[in-house]
Amino acid sequence: MVETAAVGPDEEAVVRRLRTAGCVWAEDEARLLLEAAAGAELEALLARRVAGEPLEQVLGWAGFAGLRLAVEPGVFVPRRRTGLLLDLAEAALAAATATATADDVAVPAPVVVELCCGVAAVATALLHRSPGLDVVASDLDPAAVRCARRNLGPRALVVEGDLFGGLPARLRGRVDVLVANAPYVPTGAIATMPPEARLHESPLALDGGADGLDLHRRIAAEAAEWLSPTGTVLVETSVRQAPATAALFVAAGLDATVERDDELDATAVRATRSVG
């Protein structure tokens, strides 16, 4: 008797199950799941997704800036809105490079630090576009650190630490771009977040304290000592919290502006050393 391989559900059946589970983009998700697996393996992935696990964690990767970034269960999944941090970081690097070139002296590679890096979405995209950068990423979550190391590879340093605590001392006063998507959800608001986030992502990546600004306060208090003379700090925040986040950096002696991208529904604070 010849055994036949188990035949998994067809695309229409997968779409139907995803739609019944409330997946808005059921057709797109079905295509990705069918590309990733077949038979019993597909059924296992589909069961996880139907149960509410984020698609990115089910697949093992998340799309960001044209890249596929490794994502483990339990880690923060990069959001599309963080593309604003990437755009602002690229602009800051371009300005720093132009200034260094105008000085007509040999300069070391631009230094980029990503704090609360998660899977290091911004740092990985920057390094992909500009391989000569000196990149360091840091996170407190061991699972996030594992993903960041996979995504950045051997060309960057990834450390496990609390904000600036794990950074090498050599970076003090040398950071050209300091970027952070630190948690900024107020503790009381976490219960209102979509289940995919509050049930499947680490609280370390979500909880920003009573007003959501605990990590922003700590970053603002220490950022200046790590920045180069022309360095820039970029912090993701919300429209409502942005003025308070900007005020924290102003109180720390930096100039700060609120940056907004309506298409991405994204808000960030940009801070630099005061001129004059």
* The predicted structure's pLDDT at residue 7: 41
Residue 1 has pLDDT above 50, yes or no: no
**What average pLDDT does the structure give for the chain?**
92
* The predicted structure's pLDDT at residue 98: 77
Over residues 159-177, the pLDDT tens digits come to: 999 999 999 999 999 999 9
53-73 average pLDDT score: 96
Domains along the sequence of the chain with CATH: 11-51 (no CATH), 80-273 (3.40.50.150)
Please give, one letter per residue, the 3-state secondary structure of the chain.
Answer: CCCCCCCCCCHHHHHHHHHHCCCCCHHHHHHHHHHHCCHHHHHHHHHHHHCCCCHHHHHCEEEECCEEEECCCECCCCCHHHHHHHHHHHHHHHHHHHHHHHHCCCCCCCEEEEECCCCCHHHHHHHHHCCCCEEEEEECCHHHHHHHHHHHHHHCEEEECCHHHHCCHHHCCCEEEEEECCCCECHHHHHHCCHHHHCCECHHHCECCCCCCHHHHHHHHHHHHHEEEEEEEEEEECCCCHHHHHHHHHHCCEEEEEEEECCCCEEEEEEEECCC
Residue 106 has pLDDT above 90, yes or no: no
132-161 average pLDDT score: 97
Residue 8 has pLDDT above 60, yes or no: no
96-115 average pLDDT score: 78
30-59 average pLDDT score: 94
